[in-house]
């Protein structure tokens, strides 16, 4: 269903500031918190005393304290103490490798000895002051692969997002899909069109005219286990399109980290990184609000799609040329799953 020997985004740093966070990832109940050194830690969300969720407890002096009977748990899953009790014979619980990087807390849900921080997906914009980022989190009740399908085929924008980023020219432009190693790339280019509302606003925000024809691009890149980064933008027509100089365009990277929770649910960390007016926090907030509304429209569609698929498991879905990005991405995931079975 989902690879485990890999890094997933578990949460954002603010979610574990001063308190533990319980979250299910890849079927594993995990509690995240900050240890005595301030670094993130993750252990099973299970107290070895009576099975209570440790996430209902609290953090004291960097130690996780069970909120039921006060058992104190160490970052490595070993019981440290408990009021009025000797804990030498208490069983350990599982701990998980975690890393804080690029503004996220990452977790490895598979075999701990295989966890290499160097394998965390590189985000070239995350530590670059010339870029700004704003995003959020949705808890979505559908198979994480349906979200990947959705992001690797942006044809749906014409219909699901008609009031913001959708336009008929998306349907009319050919989509191209290619595979480079384990990365799947779909691309679509539209020339000499009028920008939709979201991109008209982006042009204005970058000090550009919004009432003239533009060239528009969408380049979706899937990287296993479930990351999709999408280069999007518009440039005044005839200025070079995707390759136009910065003074002629508004461009961004749509960031999508899709973390499986169960067979029919996932955590969706969404956002947008841009390299124009990075210092403008008000603009970041405005874009975040607009993007959040767009992804909220996806949520409704995907959750009802999942309900239909559960209702009719015997029905096969059609695979058209526009579905190639999702189909190829699923093949990569399947290859990862097959490899894990061999380990």
Look up residue 191 and give its two tokens. Answer: 């020339």
Do residues 271 and 252 lie in contact, with contact meaning Cβ atoms separated by under 8 Å? no
Q: For 210-239, what is each residue's pLDDT tens digit?
A: 999 999 999 999 999 999 999 999 999 999
Q: What percent of the chain has pLDDT over 90?
A: 82
Integer angstrom CA distances of residue 265 from 3, 66, 141, 146: 15, 27, 4, 10
Cβ within 8 Å of residue 30, ≥6 positions away: 10, 22, 23, 24, 42, 43, 44, 45, 96, 107, 109
Tell me what pLDDT residue 46 has.
97
Do residues 290 and 201 lie in contact, with contact meaning Cβ atoms separated by under 8 Å? yes
> 317 — alpha (psi -120 to 50), left (phi > 0) or beta?
beta
What's the whole-number mean pLDDT along residues 275-296?
A: 91
What's the whole-number mean pLDDT along residues 180-188?
A: 97
- Which of 75-84, 172-181, 242-251, 300-309 has the least mean pLDDT? 75-84
Tell me what pLDDT residue 39 has.
94
> pTM (2 decimals)?
0.94
Q: Is the pLDDT of residue 343 over 70?
A: no
Check residues 244 and 87 and name the one with the higher pLDDT.
244
The one-character DSSP state at 243 is G
The one-character DSSP state at 185 is E
Residue labelled with tokens 């691009």: 217
Do residues 295 and 267 lie in contact, with contact meaning Cβ atoms separated by under 8 Å? no
CA-nearest of 294, 333, 295 to 139 is: 295
CA-nearest of 74, 81, 97 to 7 is: 97
Domains and CATH numbers, the chain: 7-119 (2.102.10.10), 132-342 (3.90.380.10)
What's the whole-number mean pLDDT along residues 135-156?
A: 95
What's the whole-number mean pLDDT along residues 92-107?
A: 97
Q: For 293-316, what is each residue's pLDDT tens digit?
A: 998 889 999 999 999 999 999 998
């Amino acid at each position: 269903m989902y690879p485990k020997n890999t890094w997933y985004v578990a949460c954002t740093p603010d979610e574990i500031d001063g308190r533990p966070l319980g979250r299910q990832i890849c079927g594993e109940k995990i509690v995240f918190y900050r240890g005595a050194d301030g670094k993130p830690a993750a252990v099973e969300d299970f107290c070895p005393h009576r099975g209570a969720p440790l996430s209902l407890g609290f953090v004291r002096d960097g130690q996780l304290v069970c909120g039921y009977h006060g058992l104190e748990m160490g970052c490595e899953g070993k019981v440290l103490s408990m009021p009025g009790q000797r804990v030498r014979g208490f069983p350990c619980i599982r701990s998980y490798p975690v890393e804080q990087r690029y503004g996220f807390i990452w977790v490895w849900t598979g075999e701990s000895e295989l966890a290499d921080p160097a394998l965390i997906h590189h985000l070239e914009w995350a530590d670059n002051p010339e870029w700004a980022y704003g995003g959020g989190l949705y808890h979505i009740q559908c198979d994480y692969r349906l979200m990947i399908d959705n992001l690797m085929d942006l044809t749906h924008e014409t219909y699901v997002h008609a009031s913001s980023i959708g336009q008929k020219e998306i349907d009319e432009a050919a989509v191209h899909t290619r595979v480079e190693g384990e990365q799947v790339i779909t691309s679509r280019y539209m020339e000499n069109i009028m920008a939709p509302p979201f991109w008209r606003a982006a042009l204005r925000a970058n000090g550009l005219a919004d009432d003239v024809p533009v060239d528009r691009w969408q380049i979706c890149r899937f990287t296993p286990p479930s990351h999709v980064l999408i280069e999007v933008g518009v440039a005044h027509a005839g200025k070079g399109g995707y390759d136009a100089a910065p003074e002629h365009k508004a461009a961004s990277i749509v960031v999508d980290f899709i973390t499986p929770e169960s067979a029919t649910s996932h955590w969706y960390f969404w956002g947008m990184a841009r390299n124009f007016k990075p210092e403008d926090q008000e603009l970041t907030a405005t874009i975040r609000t607009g993007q959040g509304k767009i992804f909220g429209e996806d949520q409704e569609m995907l959750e009802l799609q999942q309900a239909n698929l559960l209702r009719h498991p015997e029905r096969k879905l059609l695979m058209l040329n526009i579905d190639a990005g999702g189909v190829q991405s699923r093949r990569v995931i399947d290859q990862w799953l097959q490899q894990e079975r061999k380990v």
